[in-house]
Amino acid sequence: MSILERVQKGVGDSVSVSVYTAVKNNGTKRKGLTLTEKGVNIAPTIYLEEFYQRFLRGMTEEKAAKEVIKLYDQVRAGRSWEKGKLEKYVSVRDHIIYRLIGKKANMRLLEEIPHREFLDLAVVYYVLLEVNDFGTAAMMIKKEHMKLWQVTEDELYRRAGENTRRILPEEFCTMHTVIQDMFDLEPREASVNSEEGEFAETLYVLTNRLRSHGASALLYEGCLEQIAKKLFCNYFVLPSSIHEVIITPDRHQFSYEELSAMVKEINETQVEAEEVLSDHAYYYDRTRGELTYF
């Protein structure tokens, strides 16, 4: 019995289980199981790579199927978006958000969707369907949606700018705090304050409250300027993934070239291909109020 058959048996006839291959960010492909509940049009896809690796380490297919079902029970929406709502701009406009992706690695995708260039990156748009403790469910906005809704890319960008920060506000904290949270070591420290020099020699993380697609916080109005005021200096932005960026003050310890080489090496050895944002560092000049790259 295959894992699909085991999962189907476990969830019963009210849920249809099918194999789905998704083309993800940077042109990567992932295979998973899509579980569609009768009467619900938001269907999660559970990707199988992690379960395959655990299978190679000795996990049985029966155990893997049970783990898939357990994860499904956690992430399932349990409710629908009415089809008619997705066809009406007035129904979706307060749910439009943006995300940042690499431009060069997604050229084919960008031909099909509305987007805006941001340095060597691209701003793309989604309708956020569901937000819970386990992540988000979102529908990518394509050119046919713009035609259906009769809206421009400028309108999408304006709405997304308002909504994304409201729904997914930025989180700016030290790397130490992030590590504490990951391993549940201590209560979270307070956010970075503006006392000069308090965190002068540390690394910082900029993301959003879900730490999912948090690199888009770079787009939030005034966000980069506020960080410069807290750090009292110019700083480097290291795109560690689409989910977050690392901020390091320019204390003349490292050159731009050294940090870019570090980003590239980490991308090649530690970051999943679909989560790579860019292969070089960026630089924020607080006098000019400008983010650049060389």
Please tell me the predicted confidence (pLDDT) of residue 192: 47
139 with 213, same domain? no
Residues 288 and 176 in one domain: yes
Between 123 and 61, where is the model more confident? 123
Q: Tens of pLDDT along 99-108?
A: 999 999 999 9
In this structure, of 6-10, 28-32, 71-75, 191-195, the range with the lowest mean pLDDT score is: 191-195
239 and 129 fall within a common domain: no
> What share of the chain in percent tops pLDDT 70?
89
183-193 mean pLDDT: 51
| Rounded distance between C-alpha atoms, residue 217 and residue 238, angstroms | 13
In whole angstroms, how large is the CA radius of gyration of the chain? Answer: 21
CA distance 98 to 141: 10
Residue 43 in contact with residue 36, Cβ under 8 Å? yes
CA 127/CA 87 separation, integer angstroms: 12
User: pLDDT band at residue 89, thresholds of 50, 70 and 90?
Assistant: very high
CB distance 126 to 164 below 8 Å: no
Q: Between 40 and 20, name the one with better pLDDT.
A: 20
92 plus 64 within the same structural domain: no
- 188 and 226 belong to one structural domain: yes
Residues 102 and 174 in one domain: no
pTM equals 0.81
Same domain? For 153 and 219 the reply is: no
Final residue before a domain boundary, out of 151, 167, 183 = 167
Select the highest-mean-pLDDT range: 20-29, 41-50, 171-180, 206-215.
Answer: 206-215
> Taking 90 as the threshold, does the pLDDT of residue 176 lie above it?
no
Number of separate domains in the chain: 3
Whether 218 and 288 map to the same domain: the answer is yes
Domain that holds residue 253: 170-292
**Helix 61-75 × helix 3-11 angle, to 10°:** 50
Q: Is the pLDDT of residue 80 over 60?
A: no
Last residue of a domain, one of 41, 75, 109: 75
pLDDT, one tens digit per residue, over 209-266 is 999 999 999 999 999 999 999 999 999 999 999 999 999 999 888 999 999 999 999 9
Q: How far is CA 264 from CA 121, 122, 221, 241, in A?
A: 16, 19, 28, 11
Mean of all residue pLDDT scores within the chain? 87
Are 187 and 123 members of one domain? no
> What pLDDT does residue 189 have?
45
84 falls in which pLDDT band (50, 70, 90)?
confident
Residue after which a domain boundary falls, among 75, 100, 131 = 75
Are 286 and 175 found together in one domain? yes
Identify whether residues 58 and 92 lie together within a single domain.
Answer: no
